[in-house]
Each structure stands twice: as structure tokens, then as C-alpha cells.
Amino acid sequence: MSNAPRSLTDKLDELDVRYAEITEQMNDPEVASNGQRIVALSKEHASLGRIVEPYREYCAIAEELAQAKSLLEDPEVEGEMKELAEAEVYELRDKAEEAIERVKGLLVMSDEAKIGSVILEIRAGTGGDEAALFAHDLLEMYRRYAERHHWQAEVLSGSSTGLGGYKEVMVNVKGEGVWSRLGYEGGGHRVQRVPETESQGRVHTSAATVAVLPEPQEIDIEVDWDNDVLEHVSRAGGPGGQNVNKVESAIKLEHKQTGITVSMRDEQSQHKNRAKARQIMLARLHDHYRTQQQESEAAARKKMIGSGDRSQRIRTYNFPQNRCTDHRLKGEGQDGANYNLERIIAGDLDELIDALVAHDKAQRLADL
């Protein structure tokens, strides 16, 4: 298909097929009557729709473009008709390019856009009181940035110093697109300036670390009891077995993916034992996945903030030269892209973050 590599359209076609399957399932009365199932399908449908619907728009434009090209290449088409076809090809080619670029962005960045609440953790690193003051400056920078985007920023906890700095401070920021923008702030931040306590005017280098984590969401546990779980029945007082004798009331459930098992034989009724076993299974699965999420968050935090040493940094704030350098971006500087520090500290981060988003998007597309 024009304007898009085959590997990309193959991936998008897969999503289109899945989207159509879910649409069909949601129209099935039996599925629609299953509250838990319909909620899960609705979420997946909405998520896929954000990509598939724009992709279908692109496909329609690409089809029009193909027809216009065919008309243009037809030797029997001449004069004014050929000129109209040529103009249409140019117009549709631009539209197709814009449409597929939009789809590409949605494909690789859509998950981030859905997260509307993050926890910012700012900690003073190397540099003593000056590092704590810098941590406070970063807090104010993010507060101002949140105000620009009409996000809510609430300080959850903080350990302040006598000079007005912070050893550490945690902030909850909520709003549309908050993770897709602030997610790039995690890492080591280095400041070069003359501290207020410096009497001889010497420039000092200090550091702070920032971790940005999606706010933990309530984990939705969906279990297909027929396909995800093995059920064994046995007599309450005898050995385990697997038959359907109605006098066998003891239930043992085994979740295939995690290996978690639950046995219940307290009740004489097989139905009651099954209901209790499923209740316990759901609780254990919730704990299992929550523990996994916490471990993942802890690993992400550790990877994001590094050691807090000056040598580990994503960005440098050079006050004497009024320059903010992001070391992840290539620019005019030898070691990153430079931005006006005064604007950055004032919370005007959009130009810098736009560059990071574009850089990240390009890398993700390259990895598809």
C-alpha cells in the first residue's frame, strides 16, 4: 500500500481484524449479557478503535489515490481530465502521508496517552544543601508546567531542609496526557551555578534525581473459568480425582498461567465450594499481579533515577550560560540539544518535550 511499509500495514491489518472480531462479539447477545466479559471487550475495543479507525481512514484515502494514479496512467485519458487526475494525485498523496504519520504515532504512543495520573519523586543527590535547593527548583518547574497544561499537582509528602530545599518530595500530577509528557523527565538532573551560600562566586555542580511513575491503577482480574482454570473434583474425605460424580463436593482450582491453586472442601455442596474457591482464587490472582506490578515499578524507579551521582544525568541546567542541555537529544551542542534555561525553569518545557516525543516515536517506529 502506498506511503506505508508492508511490515507496518501487516501489523495494522492484524489490529483491524481483531477490532472487527471484538465488534462482532459485542453484538452477540450471549456475550452482551456477561457483564465482566462485555466490560473487558469494551475496553479493548475502545483502545483498538483509537488506532484502527484512523487507519481505515488512511486506507480509504490510499484507495482513492490508487484510482487517481490509475486514471493518470491511462493512455486514453488526455487534456483537462489528465490535469485533474494529476492534481488529485498530488493532493491525495499529501493526505495519505499525513494520515499514515498520524496512525504511526497512535500505534506506538497510544498506551502512554491513556495514563492520566503520575507520581513524581524528586530527590536531592550529590551537592548537600545546594542539591536540596535544586530539588525545590525542579518541583516548582513541574508545578508551573502543570499549570500551563491545566493539570492538577498535589504534593503528597516531602522532607524539607532549613534553607527551603527538599531532600525528597513526592507529587501527584493528574490530567490528560500527563504520562505522555512527563514520562521523559525521569533520570538524573544536574545543575551548574553559584550557590547562595558561596561567598567567592565559584560555580558548583550538584544533582537531583527524578522518577516518574504511572499512578498504580486498580488491577482488573478477568478469569475465563472454562479456559483459564483447571477444575478437579473429589470426595471431601477421600483422595483427589477427576470425575463428575455428584457426591464429590471438594473442589480444587488451578490457574494455568500462574500455577496458583486453591482447594475448598469445607461445604457439603459442590456449588458452594466452587464459589468460595473462585473467590479465593481471584484474591490470590489480584495479589500475584499486584506484586508483579510493584516489582516492575520498583525496577523502573531504580533504572530511572540511577545512583544520584553527578555523572549520571539526562539534563544539565547551566545558570551562568542560561543554557539547559538535554543529553538524549542531538543538537547544536556537542553533548545534546540546548534550550533557554530561563524559559525551562519557568515551566516552558513543551519545545524540549516535543523533541523528546519525536525522538522516542522515531525509535519505536524503527523497532516495529
Walk along the chain (368 residues) in steps of 10 and give the mean pLDDT of each run: 70 91 90 82 86 93 91 83 87 92 81 79 90 95 96 89 89 89 92 82 90 72 86 68 58 91 80 85 80 73 58 85 91 72 96 91 77
* Pairwise CA distance, residues 298 & 213, whole Å: 10
* Pairwise CA distance, residues 69 & 92, whole Å: 10
DSSP 202-243: --EEEEEEEEEEEPPPPPP----TTTTEEEEEE-TTS-----
CA-nearest of 182, 170, 166, 84 to 133 is: 166
pLDDT confidence of residue 13: 92
Angle at 167 between CA 150 and CA 318, to 5 degrees: 70
pLDDT confidence of residue 85: 83
Domains 117-217+304-367 and 229-296 share a fold: no
Q: SS3 of 59, please?
A: helix
229-296: CATH topology: Double Stranded RNA Binding Domain (3.30.160)
- Domain 117-217+304-367 part of CATH 3.40.50.720: no
pLDDT confidence of residue 265: 79
pLDDT confidence of residue 306: 59
User: Which phi and psi angles does 35 have, rounded to 5°?
Assistant: -55, -50
pTM for this predicted structure: 0.67
User: Residue ranges of the domains in the chain?
Assistant: 6-113, 117-217+304-367, 229-296
